[in-house]
Every structure is written in structure tokens, then in C-alpha cells.
């Protein structure tokens, strides 16, 4: 018995033969999709609609004829199909259980690697989660981190070599603002009346940094000119805050291959090299002493200033240089930006096109996050110093819930994150529901006879799997490789979070309707095999999402 994919290949072939024989059509495309409603079978095709004009007949009639010609009259095909029905012009097919058994065999053979693709030699540069080095990471970075890390893991599972990057925006005026804010806190330790800058960063996170500097430096800079202390306090504040950001990122279960300093891009000459390359390509011009990039040639709404009339490069100039560097060493670059950056999409793609890498840069936007607690919105304002840090979120709900919740909606959809729901041990909490599914499987496997479980894991006794809930679960398992591919092709990690909920739901239904440790040995071995296969797939989905797959919920509660 072939796999479902193999069965569809055979059915496709005989459908084409039948269409050619009956209607004389040789160039018709046959596609199969899973119906939205399970009662319509495993797969459906609308091939009859494409023949209506040539056949001068209604799609329903054509579908009935094709079922007779291609399936019912072909014993080798009829053996693959337990039901073929024409419904409103569609051909609905239900495959023989043996096709789905091949899926379980494949999963048990591949184990934790089921769904992965061989290395394809393609290099991906993925930048995500970046934040100014002026404070701790907050909620919106948490969402970008979760989305980006899931994308990185999915790309890797699909055979790509992934290089993850974080840009430290330390070359602009925000570092000077940080320096003045930190210096004011440093001075206020000895002189509480020392004024705090009106445009400073008022958050309490600067207090321990200022205290450590006061302890180390004493009054050394109390009477110093700003020109002396400004670069020192800027660098010390930046270094401490970036180190804190790195610790938070690592705590969140994420590792970056590169933390790229924007300042280093300038100091190393990479910014200058990027600008010179645009000059060589004839894509710059001067106006009123400023240097412009001809961005409108590449879809932007206006030309962009690279170097201002005072000789200082713009932030956009650093973007040009950084993307030039990334595109030279990668086959594809992906930027995940924060909210309110829609205007950057075309200008960044324009950079890629200008350097000769058209179509090799993708930009996605991670939309805003609203925090709720029991349905009530939690207020937060970075400028007012009333911020909720990502570390505080992790303290309250844990890494698993945060990673899952941040990734479970489409990237370009605003997210309402209910902190109270994320801590509930109930089926209303999606991450709890999914993890409970894995823990339930683990419990069943622990309670099975060890010898029988070893036999079941070989996938040799699957014939008893025919119950509708067993078929539904095997169908879901078969989808997993395509779900991974769809995550990377559309930059949509929420599809994997949704899949994790769906396969957990299918397992819970199977568990409720079919006694796994049945008194019938054949049923018991087959269902143990299906449970073990489900565990592999569910754990893999959670691993890509950055969420643990607990062996028991008690262990999770004490982790």
C-alpha cells in the first residue's frame, strides 16, 4: 500500500488518462486539497469544473463519469480508495487506512527528525528582535524574538543554513540621551536635586547601573565637562544594557550568531564601502551639500539622504551598508521589523535591488502587543518609565507560555496577550492544552509493557488502525512536513502554533474514543504505535516553537 502522496500520484495518473480518453483533453491540471469538513473525505479535486466547457456537461455529471472511469473500473485504484463520491461537482476521496499506516511507519522510522528536509545549501540571513541599547527588552521585542526564533528553527528544519542577527543601534542620538540620563542618576546619588533631562529615560533600570558607577568612580565626574563624561557614560550604559538584553534573550531560549554594532559598521569602514558602491553604480547624487540615494528608481516614494550636509551619515545610510554586507554573504535576507515600520519595507527592498539582489530581501512586520490580565488591559509607557519588561513577563508566565503566545497569531496581526490565561492550567490555555497532549502520550507510553512498546515502535502491527479518530490523527500527522514548509514559504510561524493545537486536539479525541491499552493485542500494538508517532510530531512542533514537551504536567509545574 502506498503513502497518501503515492496514492494521489496514482489517482492523478488515471484521472488524466480518463479525461484524455473520454473528453480528448490532454493539458488539464489535477490538484488535490483536503476538504474543510472531514465528512467530505481525505482529499477532493475540482477537476470536473475545468472540463465543463469542453465536455458541454455539468461538473457533477463529469465528476460521476470520472469516478466510474478512473476509480471504480480500475481495481488497482479502487484498492486505494474506500470511498469516492461526486458532491456538487467535486470528486471527494477517502483513502484506504493502509495509506495512512505508511505515514505512521515513516514517522516511527524517522523519529524526532520526521518532517525535516536534507540540507539544500541555501544560506538565510535572519534579523529579528532588535532594540535600542537604551533599556531592557519589553513586550514587543518578546513577540519579535519568538516569531524570529521560530522562523529560524523552521528554516533549519527545512534544510537551510540560517544565520541569525541582531543590530545594536548604538550610533545615533539615543546613546547620548542614555548617557545624560545615566549621568543624572549618577549625580543624584550624591545630590538628589541634580536635574534629570526632560527627554531622558526615566525608568528605574538605570538606578543600579548608576549606583555601580558611583561605587566605582566616586565623585570623579561630578565636576567634569559634558564633553568628557558623555562618551564614557554612553559607552558604559550601552554595554551594560546590551549585556542585560543578551541575558534576557538567552533566558528566552534564543541564541544569535551575531550582535552587530551599528557603531562598528561606521568605524570599520563598512558604511563608507556601501556608499561608495552606490556611487560606482551611479545611484547617488548631491543636492544642497547632502548626498542622496536614487531610491525612487527602486519603488520608494522619495530619494533618501545618505549623508547630510554637515557630513554626518544618516541612520538610513547604516541600513544601506548593513544590508549590503548581509546580501553579499547570504542567498536570502529576511528582516523582521517592529510595529509602525511599514514604510521601511519598500525602501529596504530598494536597497537590495540597487545592489543587484532584487527579490532576495524579505521584510515582515511584527505587530503590536497589548497586555491583558483577566481581560483588563495592562498599561505601559516606556517614555514615562512605566514599562513592563520581557523579564517580568517571563517571571509571571514562564518561557514556554510566552514563546507560544507570542507566536500563535499571524505576524501582521495585533496580539492581545492575556497573562492570566497564560498561567491557567486549563484547556482554555492553548500552551497548556498542547503540552498536556504530549504529557498524556508520555503517561500512556510509561504505562505500556516495555516489550510491547518496543514492538509497537517498529510499526509492524498497524492494520487495526481504522477508527475515524485514528484516521483523523494519522491525517494530521501526515500534514506536518507541509506545515513546516508553509511556515518558511510564507514567514508564518503562527501556522505551526495552530498545527500544534490541532494535533493535540486530534490526539485528545483519539484518546477519548479509543482505548489505547486495549485488551486486544493487535489494537494495543497499533494504538501504541500511533501514540508514539504522535509524540514525535508534537514534540518536534513544540521544539521548533521553542516550547518544552513535558513528560508530565506535574514536572512542568515544578520546573
Secondary structure (3-state) at 164: strand
Q: Could you tell me the CA-to-CA distances from 125 to 339, 359, 490 in Å, in that order?
A: 21, 14, 16
DSSP state letter for 381:
B
Torsion over CA: 174, 176, 181, 185 (sign) = positive
Q: Give CA 241 to chain center in angstroms.
A: 26
Find the helix or strand (DSSP H, E) in which 326 lies: helix 315-329
Nearest Cα to 507, choosing from 548, 472, 460, 542? 472
Helices 430-447 and 390-407, axial angle in degrees (round to 10): 80
Q: How many residues does the chain have?
A: 559
Secondary structure (3-state) at 287: strand
Q: First vs last Cα of the chain: how many Å apart?
A: 45
- The grid coordinates listed for 189 are 546619588
- Specify the pTM: 0.93
Nearest Cα to 491, choosing from 119, 123, 115, 148? 148
Q: Could you tell me the CA-to-CA distances from 217 to 188, 221, 355, 391, 476 in Å, in that order?
A: 14, 8, 48, 29, 62
Q: Which fold has domain 430-558?
A: Isoleucyl-tRNA Synthetase; Domain 1 (1.10.730)
- CB atoms inside a 10 Å sphere around CB 122: 14
The Cα 143–Cα 546 span in angstroms is: 13
- The grid coordinates listed for 410 are 499571524
Secondary structure (3-state) at 46: coil
Let me know: does 97 contact 465? Beta carbons within 8 Å.
Answer: yes
Domain boundaries, the chain: 4-95, 173-251, 430-558
Query: Which residues make Cβ contacts (< 8 Å) with residue 15, sequence separation at least 6?
Result: 30, 45, 47, 66, 70
- The grid coordinates listed for 108 are 516511527
- DSSP labels, 165-210: EEEE--SSHHHHHHHHHHHHHHHHHH-TTSPPPTTS---TTHHHHH
- Within the chain, what is the greatest distance between any pair of CA atoms? 97
Nearest Cα to 194, choosing from 181, 206, 184, 183? 184
Let me know: does 140 contact 157? Beta carbons within 8 Å.
Answer: no
- CB atoms inside a 10 Å sphere around CB 185: 24
- Beta strands, E only, 137-232: 161-168
- The grid coordinates listed for 2 are 502506498
CATH architecture of 4-95: 2-Layer Sandwich (3.30)
Let me know: does 323 contact 348? Beta carbons within 8 Å.
Answer: yes
Q: Could you tell me the CA-to-CA distances from 150 to 7, 284, 356 in Å, in that order?
A: 32, 38, 29
Nearest Cα to 507, choosing from 544, 480, 535, 540? 535
Let me know: does 1 contact 96? Beta carbons within 8 Å.
Answer: yes
Per-residue pLDDT of the chain (559 residues; tens, 9 = 90+): 999 999 999 999 999 999 999 999 988 889 999 998 888 999 999 999 999 988 999 999 999 999 999 999 999 999 999 999 999 999 999 999 999 999 999 999 999 999 999 999 999 999 999 889 999 999 999 999 999 999 999 999 999 999 999 999 999 899 999 999 999 999 999 999 999 999 999 989 999 999 999 999 999 999 999 999 999 999 999 999 999 999 999 999 999 999 999 999 999 999 999 999 999 999 999 999 999 999 999 989 999 999 999 999 998 999 999 999 999 999 999 999 999 888 889 889 999 999 999 999 999 999 999 999 998 998 766 555 568 999 999 999 999 999 999 999 999 999 999 999 999 999 999 999 999 999 999 999 999 999 999 999 999 999 999 999 999 999 999 999 999 999 999 999 999 999 999 999 999 999 999 999 999 999 999 999 999 999 999 999 999 999 999 999 875 554 4
Q: Backbone dihedral region of 311: left (phi > 0), alpha (psi from -120 to 50 degrees) or beta? A: left
The Cα 401–Cα 407 span in angstroms is: 10
Domains 4-95 and 430-558 belong to one CATH topology: no
Secondary structure (3-state) at 451: helix
Query: Which residue in the block uniquely carries the three cell numbers 565623585?
Result: 219
- The pLDDT score that the predictor gives to residue 385 is 54
φ, ψ for residue 277, nearest 5 deg: -65, -40
φ, ψ for residue 55, nearest 5 deg: -85, -15
Amino acid at each position: 500500500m502506498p503513502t497518501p502522496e503515492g496514492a494521489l500520484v496514482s489517482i492523478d495518473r488515471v484521472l488524466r488518462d480518463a479525461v484524455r480518453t473520454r473528453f480528448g483533453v490532454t493539458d488539464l491540471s489535477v490538484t488535490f486539497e483536503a476538504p474543510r469538513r472531514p465528512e467530505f473525505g481525505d482529499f477532493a479535486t475540482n477537476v470536473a469544473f475545468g472540463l465543463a466547457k469542453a465536455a458541454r456537461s455539468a461538473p457533477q455529471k463529469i465528476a460521476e463519469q470520472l469516478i466510474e472511469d478512473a476509480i471504480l473500473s480500475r481495481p488497482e485504484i479502487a484498492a486505494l480508495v474506500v470511498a469516492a463520491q461526486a458532491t456538487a461537482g467535486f470528486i471527494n476521496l477517502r483513502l484506504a487506512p493502509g495509506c495512512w499506516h505508511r505515514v505512521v511507519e515513516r514517522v516511527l522510522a524517522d523519529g524526532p527528525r520526521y518532517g525535516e528536509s536534507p540540507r539544500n545549501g541555501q544560506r538565510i540571513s535572519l534579523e529579528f528582535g532588535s532594540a535600542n541599547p537604551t533599556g531592557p527588552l519589553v513586550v514587543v521585542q518578546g513577540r519579535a524574538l519568538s516569531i524570529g526564533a521560530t522562523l529560524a528553527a523552521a528554516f533549519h528544519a527545512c534544510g537551510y543554513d540560517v544565520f541569525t542577527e541582531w543590530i545594536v543601534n548604538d550610533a545615533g542620538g539615543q546613546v547620548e540621551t542614555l548617557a545624560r540620563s545615566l549621568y543624572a542618576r549618577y549625580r543624584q546619588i550624591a545630590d538628589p536635586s541634580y536635574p534629570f533631562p526632560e527627554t531622558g529615560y526615566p525608568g528605574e533600570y538605570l538606578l543600579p547601573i548608576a549606583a555601580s558607577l558611583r561605587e566605582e568612580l566616586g565623585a570623579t565626574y561630578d565636576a567634569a565637562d559634558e564633553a568628557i563624561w558623555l562618551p564614557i557614560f554612553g559607552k558604559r550604559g550601552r554595554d551594560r544594557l546590551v549585556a542585560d538584553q543578551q541575558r534576557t534573550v538567552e533566558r528566552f531560549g534564543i541564541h544569535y550568531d551575531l550582535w552587530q554594532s551599528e557603531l562598528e559598521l561606521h568605524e570599520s569602514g563598512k558604511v563608507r564601502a556601501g556608499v561608495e558602491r552606490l556611487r560606482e553604480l551611479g545611484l547617488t547624487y548631491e543636492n544642497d551639500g547632502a548626498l542622496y540615494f536614487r531610491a525612487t528608481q527602486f519603488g520608494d516614494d522619495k530619494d533618501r539622504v545618505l549623508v547630510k550636509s554637515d557630513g554626518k551619515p544618516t541612520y538610513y545610510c547604516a541600513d544601506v551598508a548593513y544590508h549590503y554586507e548581509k546580501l553579499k554573504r547570504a542567498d536570502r535576507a529576511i528582516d523582521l521589523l517592529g510595529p509602525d515600520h511599514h514604510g521601511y519595507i519598500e525602501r529596504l527592498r530598494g536597497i537590495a535591488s540597487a545592489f543587484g539582489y532584487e527579490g532576495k530581501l524579505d521584510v515582515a512586520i511584527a505587530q503590536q502587543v497589548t497586555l491583558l490580565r483577566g481581560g483588563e488591559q495592562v498599561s505601559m509607557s516606556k517614555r514615562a518609565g512605566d514599562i513592563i519588561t520581557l523579564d517580568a513577563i517571563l517571571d509571571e508566565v514562564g518561557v514556554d507560555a510566552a514563546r507560544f503566545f507570542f507566536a500563535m497569531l499571524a505576524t501582521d496581526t495585533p496580539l492581545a496577550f492575556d497573562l492570566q490565561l497564560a498561567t491557567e492550567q486549563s484547556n482554555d490555555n492553548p500552551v497548556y492544552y498542547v503540552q498536556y497532549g504530549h504529557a498524556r502520550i508520555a503517561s500512556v507510553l510509561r504505562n505500556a509493557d516495555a516489550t510491547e512498546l518496543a514492538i509497537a515502535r517498529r510499526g509492524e502491527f498497524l492494520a487495526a488502525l481504522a477508527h475515524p479518530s485514528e484516521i483523523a490523527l494519522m491525517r494530521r500527522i501526515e500534514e506536518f512536513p507541509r506545515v513546516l514548509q508553509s511556515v518558511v514559504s510564507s514567514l508564518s510561524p503562527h501556522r505551526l502554533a495552530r498545527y500544534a493545537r490541532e494535533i493535540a486536539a486530534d490526539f485528545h479525541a483519539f484518546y477519548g474514543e479509543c482505548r489505547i491499552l486495549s485488551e486486544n493485542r493487535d489494537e494495543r500494538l497499533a494504538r501504541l504505535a500511533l501514540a508514539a508517532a504522535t509524540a514525535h510530531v508534537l514534540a518536534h512542533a513544540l521544539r521548533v516553537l521553542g516550547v518544552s514537551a513535558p513528560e508530565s504536567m506535574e514536572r512542568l509545574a515544578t520546573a
